[in-house]
Structure 1
Amino acid sequence: MLKKRVALFGGAFDPVHNGHVQVASVVATDFIDEVWFVP
């Protein structure tokens, strides 16, 4: 069984904008399984 690869993306996110989403999308597509936003 493979372990799920999760990235924690910490920041203020006030508000979340397209730049945050784009970074998370690229990382999730290329390197990991999930991105969790941590305010």
Structure 2
Amino acid sequence: IPFGPVMRARARMLELRGLVAPGQTLEELVVIEARRAR
């Protein structure tokens, strides 16, 4: 999905740290659900 406002604002910093590719504007999301044992 396209970067949202937070990722767009941080994209340059993430590029400089090598966490995203230069010019990258898409991301994959993984949703994990956790439940506490009762």
Q: TM-score, normalization: structure 1?
A: 0.32
- Greater length-normalized contact order (CA 8 Å, ≥ 6 residues apart): 1
Q: TM-score, normalization: structure 2?
A: 0.32
Specify the structure having the higher radius of gyration (Cα).
2
